[in-house]
Amino acid sequence: MTRPSEPAVRDCPGCEREWDHCHGTLIVHTDGAVECTEDDCSASPHLHAWTTPCGRLVPACECAGTGE
């Protein structure tokens, strides 16, 4: 059981180690373009722990339905 004085969520190990990484999700479009859910993200695509194709978004991305 978590005591009120203890944080409910642990700190990010990547942040603790000062690794270059992003907490956002990388969205991969059908044309190969990528965008992150974090507005100020400048991390390379390989520095994202989470990725998803745009067609899996709800609602799905427009480019997923066109095949472009």
> DSSP secondary-structure letter at 56?
G
The pLDDT of 35-60, averaged and rounded, is 94
Tokens of 18: 């000062």
The pLDDT of 45-67, averaged and rounded, is 88
What is the per-residue pLDDT across 5-32, written as a single tens digit (0 to 9) for each?
A: 555 456 889 899 999 999 999 999 999 9
The pLDDT value recorded for residue 68 is: 43
Tokens of 43: 């991390």
The pLDDT of 48-52, averaged and rounded, is 94
Q: What is the pTM of this model?
A: 0.71
What percentage of the chain carries pLDDT values higher than 70?
A: 81
Q: Can you tell me the distance from the alpha carbon of 59 to that of 1, in angstroms, rounded to the nearest whole number? A: 38
